[in-house]
Amino acid sequence: MKPSFNPPVAERRQIDTRSIQALDSAHYMHPFTDTRELGLRGARVIVRGEGIYVWDSEGKKILDAMSGLWCVNIGYGRSELAQAAYMQMMELPYYNSFFNTTNVPAVKLAAKLCELAPRVGDRSFTHVFFSSSGSESNDTNIRMVRHYWASLGQSERKIIISRKNGYHGSTIGGASLGGMQGMHEQGDLPIPGIVHIDQPYFSNNALAGESEHDFGLRLARQLEEKILELGAHRVAAFIGEPIQGAGGVIIPPASYWPEIQRIVDKYGILLISDEVICAFGRLGSWFAYEQLGYKPDLVTFAKGVTSGYAPLGGVMVGDRVAKVLIEKGGEFNHGYTYSGHPVACQVALANLEWMEREHVVERIKDDTGPYLSECFAALNEHPLVGDARSYGFMAGLLLMKNKATGERFSPDTGVGMACRAHCFGNGLVMRAVGDRMIIAPPLVMTRADIDDMMKLIIQCLDLTLSEAKNKGWC
Ligand code: PXG
């Protein structure tokens, strides 16, 4: 893979960490953060990135095994993307797509995304609706599926079925679709018309002696039970992440998605695949549905479309929905100032071009993805680790108190956060979700990079085990 990082900046600005932390604490309210607690501790100031590494203001080098926040798929410092943004800003930094106007990057990107989204059976993707984030895109989905059914004279079809512990964003619509209890409690959510079924998390929800195959079918059939309970004539759509990301990298059994497809087909309800994390190569394909065996009507995307270099999201609109909206729908009273933002779209085009040129998706599918799977599964040998598995470049493991009995750590130990602290301390970003540790590394990692990452992971697991023993957690 050709290195194409930004040239070294001769004079890097000297950062006074303490004063930035003081300003941060005084003025910057962070997402998903206890502001008082962060103020006491002081935020880590990240100042620079190159390839798969970032550096903090104290000069510490950190291997970013989370790709920022599941998004910097092609790594940091790619000059082609910076140049694309610069050129577009000079040419046309902004124009809207309302009032019968359009712009060249948005048109080209919409066409490119439709070309990349594979046709499955009788379904293909013909149109794209742009936003600036995954959350906004899922709000678009809520509006679009309700408008679709109303256009067909079935306006009572409003309910969207989603899953517990799913993550679909943090706007009121996105958080309602999501199944995160803490978000619902704080926001008086979900809004009416959104209901949740269980997540297909084998380690948590399987019955004694149940096979993964049977478990997948049983969990998918909760959708059918819910449809029958609500009345199929009231159900508009089902939404799910192909693999749940923020919920802890929950990989469903292979039987799950085909059964979901059978059920949505039987009742004619729309299927939304939220691929904000899983699309653009993370699972070894441009879109995840092609690997997991289903045919969505709508696909949510964001993050990896620009590798996080510019905020951009959207909804891929399949021909079933597009046809109705175009022929019967009239004006769709929905859109954002930044829908089809020319700079973000031009950056996305540069990102996709770079990925194609460097065969990023093929490498995940045929080479580095299988290698990571092999390395990650070997972690199951570690005394602290159960259920270590990956799919493409998404991986998760369970920190276990007693592997022989399957006993889990009590949540008040905070074992995941302890492990995360060891990771940070040793120059590795790994995310904790309760007692699960997860990674979603940049897709450009080589086998040698994976070896370096695995060494760090094992070192941090060893340190966590020692701490757990010292503190009497196990
Ligand atoms: N859908 C999915 C599947 C996501 O993972 C969103 C929608 C919302 O995207 P925006 O761009 O509005 O953030 C996401 C975002 C975490 C974490 O802690 C995950 C996300 C965002 C923030 C934190 O793992 N995913």
- DSSP-derived secondary structure for 170-196: SSHHHHHHS--HHHHHHHT-SPTTEEE
Mean pLDDT of 112-139: 94
Q: In Å, how far are 61, 62, 66, 130 from 311, measured between CA atoms?
A: 25, 24, 17, 11
Q: What is the mean pLDDT of the chain?
A: 96
- Nearest to residue 105, comparing CAs of 348, 431, 284, 434? 348
CA angle 360, 366, 367 (to 5 degrees): 80
- CA–centroid distance, 70 to ligand 1, in Å, is 8
Tens-place pLDDT, residues 169-210: 999 999 999 999 999 999 899 999 999 999 999 999 999 999
Q: pTM (2 decimals)? A: 0.97
Give the atom of ligand 1 at the shortest distance from the alpha carbon of 66: 24
For a mutational test of ligand 1's pocket, the pick from 72, 133, 167, 438, i.e. the residue with the most ligand atoms closer than 8 A to its C-beta, is 167
Domain ranges of the chain: 44-74+360-470, 84-357
Question: What confidence category does residue 11 fall into, taking pLDDT thresholds of 50, 70 and 90?
Answer: very low
> Is the pLDDT assigned to residue 319 strictly greater than 60?
yes
Residue 24 to residues 14, 21, 43, 401: CA-CA distances in angstroms? Answer: 17, 5, 8, 37
Element (H, E) at 111: helix 104-116
Cβ contact 139:174 at 8 Å: yes
Structure tokens at 446: 């080589």
d(CA 425, CA 464): 12
Fold of 44-74+360-470: Aspartate Aminotransferase, domain 1 (3.90.1150)
- Domain 84-357, CATH among 3.40.640.10, 3.90.1150.10, 3.40.630.10, 3.20.20.10: 3.40.640.10
- Ligand 1: atom nearest CA of 311 is 11
Answer yes or no: are the C-beta atoms of 234 and 199 closer than 8 Å: no
Cα(226) to ligand 1 centroid in Å equals 26
Task: Enumerate residues 6+ apart whose C-beta is below 8 A from 406.
Answer: 386, 400
Q: Is the pLDDT of residue 13 over 80?
A: no
Taking residues 402-406, what's their average pLDDT? 92
**Cα-to-centroid distance, 145 and ligand 1 (Å):** 21
The Cα 457–Cα 428 span in angstroms is 8
Per-residue pLDDT tens digits for 84-118: 999 999 999 999 999 999 999 999 999 999 999 98
d(CA 408, CA 386): 10
Residue 433 Cα, ligand 1 centroid: separation in angstroms?
14
Element (H, E) at 327: helix 319-327
Amino acid of residue 222 = Q
pLDDT of 474 over the 50 cut: yes
Closest atom, ligand 1, to C-alpha of 133? 11
pLDDT at 466: 97
The closest alpha carbon to 65, from 371, 415, 456, belongs to 456
Q: Which of 276, 306, 336 to mutate to test the pocket of ligand 1 (most atoms within 8 A of CB)?
A: 276
